[in-house]
Amino acid sequence: MRRWFLIIIVMLACSGVNMSISRAQSGTLDLERLQRATVYIAQARNVGSDLFITCVGSGTIVKRDGLILTNAHNTLTSSACPGETLIVGITNRLDEPPILRYRAEIAQASLGLDLALLRITRELDGRLIEAGTLALPFVELADSDSIQLDETITVIGYPGIGNDPVESRRGTVIGFVAEPSGGEKSWMKTSAVIPGTMSGGGAYNQAGQLIAIPTTAPLAAGALETTCQPLQDTNNDNAVNTNDICIPIGGFINALRPSNFARPLLRAASLGLALDILNVPTAQVGLVGAPTFKRLFFSPSVNEAGMPTTVVRSLPAGSNGLYLFFDYENMTPETVYELRVTTDGIPNPTFSLAPVRWSGGERGLWYLGSSGQPWPNGVYEFTLFANGIAAPTARLIIGGAPETAPTFSDVVFGLLDLRNNPLGNGFVLPTGNIASARFLFRNMENGQEWTTIWYRDGQEIPAARQTNTWNEGASGSTTTSIRSETGLPPGSYRLELYIGNGLAATSDFTIAGAAQGAFPEIFKNERFVTANTSDEALTAAPLTNFPGSVLDLYMLFDWQQIAPGTLWTMRWTVDNEIFYERTAPWNTLESGQNLLIRLSAPGGVPDGTYRMDLLVNNVQLRSARAQVGIGQLPIDPFAQASGVQLRGQILDADTKLGIPGVTFILLSREYSVIDFTWSQAQIFTMAVTDRNGRFQIDRPLQFSTRNNEVAYSAIISAQGYLPISADGIEVDTTTPNPLDITLYLIRDANG
């Protein structure tokens, strides 16, 4: 730190510049910096030589070279957003609308999570931008899992369809919503009032780190409750009205997608990684009918497989966990769904979910709910909507003393050992003649009537239904089984347990694969290979170590006895960090060989240790690992600022007012001031002061050590002022971070 102070003070003082340095106050929100990192995004359709805007939204720059985080629904081409060109607008003056400046391409996207990463690639007029030449203001991602209830947040985005300046909305975190796709913090809820056009923008903690992405999904034109607005005369009738392209803008947002969901996409985009399944399956699972929700019921908790632990019709006072479960059919990633909750007839935004894109499969069991936050007493009504159409309403009462009614709970599946204990992983069983379930029971009385009903792929197995008289006592555990002499075929199964006529417990499980004891072997012979073509990859010899120059890395595996429609998950990591994860219905034949996947990147697959995991029902079944090059990324580009962030303000020495338009340049370590020729290759990074004279160097200064000295040179230039420069600028681990400086420039008497 002393080295920084001594060198820069001496060098700049010799140039007639006064400077003061102050440590940044922790927890101080630099609102202007965040606003400048916020961009306006317009999707447009090419019609001849014209561009007609089809969708709009906000986004946030998360890397200085022009990587933008936003929603997928307003950038990917779809029926609601039919454009194919993405335009990026930036803020020049904070009190003015954005200026359309760049064109962008989709680098990574997840329809289910409704997240996308865009990469700026061209100027607005189509001229190609050389990679690495942009130095845009950007923000860092926070660990969104650390966010707690009642924290103050700031949401930033564009509130209009392009005619309004960037805005910020403050609020608090009022709740979290759980989904199978992301666990307990699948969504954050906020008290901030956020217009639909700010979808895709950013929500920040008090330290100015991105914690979430405001997200909503307007319904397609023609659907019920569509909110949209015409912007251009797209039909050439000399009027802008409802006959023109209507831009969907949605209603107000009350849901935020946590930033941790974006980390895998950011990692893949930063490394340029692309994953492709090459031999596309032949058998397809088709959709029949409109999106539908049915069989709504409640559970106070969820197990590790995403199944309800039990079924309840009421909860006692002081409850802090509740989940609404329901079956779904005919869903797609373009389906918009919503949950509206009322308490004693009054809308309850804390537990509701505004319209968002569907993130599950085509059919199955889903849930929405929360735990760890209090559910006040009252009569709750839950209504689901699919594309604006309401499903049946479910009602539940919270309040009063705990009930002592008979219950079933904690269903797990397996093959029974000699002591009647189920063996296996609990929710994925191998094909065979029998499947068993163990469950707990409480407050039962002998003589009560109870029933077991088994289903396969949504259809009841009539021969398996049994109604019996209870004789197991008051509390404990017991088992029930389903048998077939011809074998239980692969598929998605369900067990329902009833006490009298009331559903007491239910759970889904999967039967697939050949038996290896009590465990299924669904996937096998997984292997990594390298080859010049995909055809050669099918017969290439498997390897676990590859040279650093490998262009494409292929993964193959065989499979057996997995029914089409079965949900499965493929997850990829590099150096133990996820960069790809997708859950989808199995859509190929029940058994086969050599499912081929290609991993590629521009310039070759980066060095690292890569792992692929295969899962069914959240159960990891197989894993394979390969090492490329040295087995780890040489430089971790994802570590949060591994150096010092430099920012500050440049003032007029006489008036003490901020000077706008000052250029602050830091040269790369290989160059000194005398070497500088205004070549982009010589510039480490640069910034231009805003109207208040503030600037931020968007690339952290690397630490200088005894074994690795890193020194920068600075050039500061402003019209009408004496230019200044300095060599030998260094920082170390004791330097304040971020480092705030104040510079006073002297007017040029001859200027």
pLDDT digits (tens, 9 = 90+) for 460-500: 999 999 999 999 999 999 999 999 999 999 999 999 999 99
In sequence order, the 6+-apart residues with CB closer than 8 A to the CB of 50 are none
- In this prediction, residue 25 carries a pLDDT of 37
- In this prediction, residue 346 carries a pLDDT of 96
Question: Which tokens is 573 given?
Answer: 């990591």
Question: Which tokens is 97 given?
Answer: 């609308």
Count other C-beta atoms under 10 Å from residue 649's C-beta: 19
Composition of the chain by helix, strand, coil, percent to 5 = 5, 50, 45
What confidence category does residue 4 fall into, taking pLDDT thresholds of 50, 70 and 90?
Answer: very low
CA-based nearest residue to 648, from 164, 145, 30, 176: 30
Cis peptide leading into 700, omega within 30 of 0? no
Average pLDDT, integer, range 384-389: 92
Say yes or no to pLDDT of 300 above 90: yes
Say yes or no to pLDDT of 10 above 80: no
- In this prediction, residue 498 carries a pLDDT of 98
Say if residues 702 and 635 touch (Cβ distance below 8 Å): no
Strand 407-416 with 476-488, pairing: unpaired
Of 719 and 427, the structure prediction assigns the larger pLDDT to 427
Average pLDDT, integer, range 444-469: 96
* DSSP-based three-state secondary structure for 493: strand
Average pLDDT, integer, range 533-558: 94
What confidence category does residue 24 fall into, taking pLDDT thresholds of 50, 70 and 90?
Answer: very low
Q: How many CA atoms lie within 13 A of 256 on its CB side?
A: 35
CA-based nearest residue to 179, from 344, 306, 19: 306
- In this prediction, residue 235 carries a pLDDT of 54
Range from 9-23, 126-140, 145-159 that averages highest in pLDDT:
145-159
In sequence order, the 6+-apart residues with CB closer than 8 A to the CB of 250 are 196, 197, 199, 216, 217, 218, 227, 355
Residue 737: Cβ-neighbour burial (10 angstroms; 0-12, 13-18, 19+): middle
Of 402 and 698, the structure prediction assigns the larger pLDDT to 402
Say if residues 509 and 523 touch (Cβ distance below 8 Å): no
Average pLDDT, the chain: 86
What confidence category does residue 21 fall into, taking pLDDT thresholds of 50, 70 and 90?
Answer: very low
CA-based nearest residue to 560, from 489, 487, 624, 482: 489
Lowest-confidence segment of 149-153, 224-228, 288-292, 601-605 by average pLDDT: 224-228
Say yes or no to pLDDT of 239 above 60: no
Average pLDDT, integer, range 99-126: 93
- In this prediction, residue 234 carries a pLDDT of 53
Of 747 and 25, the structure prediction assigns the larger pLDDT to 747
- Residue entry with tokens 């590790």: 304
Rg of the chain (C-alpha set): 30
Domains and CATH numbers, the chain: 2-27+642-745 (2.60.40.1120), 37-270 (2.40.10.120), 292-398 (2.60.40.10), 415-511 (2.60.40.2560), 522-628 (2.60.40.10)
Of 286 and 521, the structure prediction assigns the larger pLDDT to 521
Say yes or no to pLDDT of 246 above 90: no
* DSSP-based three-state secondary structure for 698: coil
Answer whether 0.95 is exceeded by the pTM. Answer: no
- In this prediction, residue 740 carries a pLDDT of 85
Average pLDDT, integer, range 568-593: 92
* DSSP-based three-state secondary structure for 181: coil
Residues 269-278 have pLDDT tens digits of 989 999 999 8
- In this prediction, residue 547 carries a pLDDT of 92
Specify the DSSP class assigned to residue 111.
Answer: T
